[in-house]
């Protein structure tokens, strides 16, 4: 059974984020930062979490509340980005207290990639070993690309061909980086829904889960 917790957040007053921790072997932690409305229960993140559970990793699933927070939704973009980055840092700082983990796997989806980037920008030097999975990263009109330019870690980056961020000028920097494996999934949009419907979506997610499984195995 998952261990439920509230992680205190330092941005604003009396804020926290709920999270569920599924403990396995306790040597590695997979930390999942979901999207604005794409929760950890949705097919893509559920499938990725299962990959890591099969590997014996503890898995921390976050439950963001941004989509229901009118204060956040009404804020200017810069204020939103500052809050997301700050929250990501607080979440990772808390995750560091949950066990003596030998490796961290950080997985972000859309808005979650911003939170993940903020966490890494603050704590990269104290992590003993970390790998990243950037799912439909928010590269368009956000500070994510600028932050990624300062980070180096073995990663997978995944976008659908129908994602608005699938632009040559946005993806070119990652096509030449040796630490990032860039993968485009045919027919998928930013919400990771397929143009051809649910059956095609499920097949694409299953294929991506296999890709992640093989990539995790390649990391030693």
**Tokens linked to 122:** 């603050």
Taking the C-alpha atoms of residue 7 and residue 18, their distance in angstroms, rounded to an integer, is 6
Kindly report the number of other CB atoms within 10 A of residue 30's CB atom: 26
Q: Say which residue the tokens 């941004």 belong to.
A: 66
- The predicted model scores a pTM of 0.95
Q: What is the pLDDT of residue 220?
A: 83
Q: What is the pLDDT of residue 127?
A: 85
Kindly report, residue by residue over 92-137, the tens digit of the pLDDT. Answer: 999 999 999 999 999 999 999 999 999 999 988 888 799 999 999 9
Which class is domain 3-152+166-178?
A: alpha beta
Taking the C-alpha atoms of residue 26 and residue 22, their distance in angstroms, rounded to an integer, is 10
Q: Which of 211, 164, 168, 171 lies closest to 190, judged by CA?
A: 164
Domain residue limits, the chain: 3-152+166-178
Q: What is the pLDDT of residue 112?
A: 98
Extract the residue ranges of the chain whose pLDDT is less than 70: 1
138: left (phi over 0), alpha (psi -120 to 50) or beta: beta
Provide, for the chain, the percentages of residues in helix, strand and coil under a 3-state DSSP scheme, each rounded to the nearest 5: 40, 25, 35
Q: What is the pLDDT of residue 16?
A: 97
């Amino acid at each position: 059974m998952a261990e439920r917790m509230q992680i205190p957040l330092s941005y604003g007053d009396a804020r926290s984020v709920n999270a569920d921790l599924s403990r396995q072997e306790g040597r590695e932690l997979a930390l999942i930062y979901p999207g604005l409305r794409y929760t950890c229960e949705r097919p893509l993140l559920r499938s990725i979490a299962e990959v890591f559970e099969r590997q014996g990793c503890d898995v921390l699933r976050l439950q963001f509340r941004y989509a229901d927070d009118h204060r956040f939704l009404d804020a200017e973009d810069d204020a939103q980005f500052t809050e997301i980055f700050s929250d990501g840092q607080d979440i990772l700082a808390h995750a560091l207290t949950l066990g003596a983990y030998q490796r961290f796997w950080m997985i972000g989806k859309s808005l979650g990639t911003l939170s993940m980037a903020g966490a890494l920008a603050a704590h990269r030097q104290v992590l003993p070993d970390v790998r990243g999975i950037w799912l439909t990263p928010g590269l368009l009109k956000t500070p994510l690309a600028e932050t990624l330019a300062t980070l180096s870690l073995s990663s997978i980056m995944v976008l659908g061909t129908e994602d608005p961020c699938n632009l040559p000028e946005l993806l070119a920097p990652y096509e030449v980086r040796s630490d990032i494996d860039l993968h485009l999934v045919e027919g998928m949009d930013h919400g990771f829904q397929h143009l051809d419907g649910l059956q095609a979506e499920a097949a694409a997610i299953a294929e991506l889960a296999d890709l992640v499984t093989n990539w995790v195995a390649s990391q030693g």
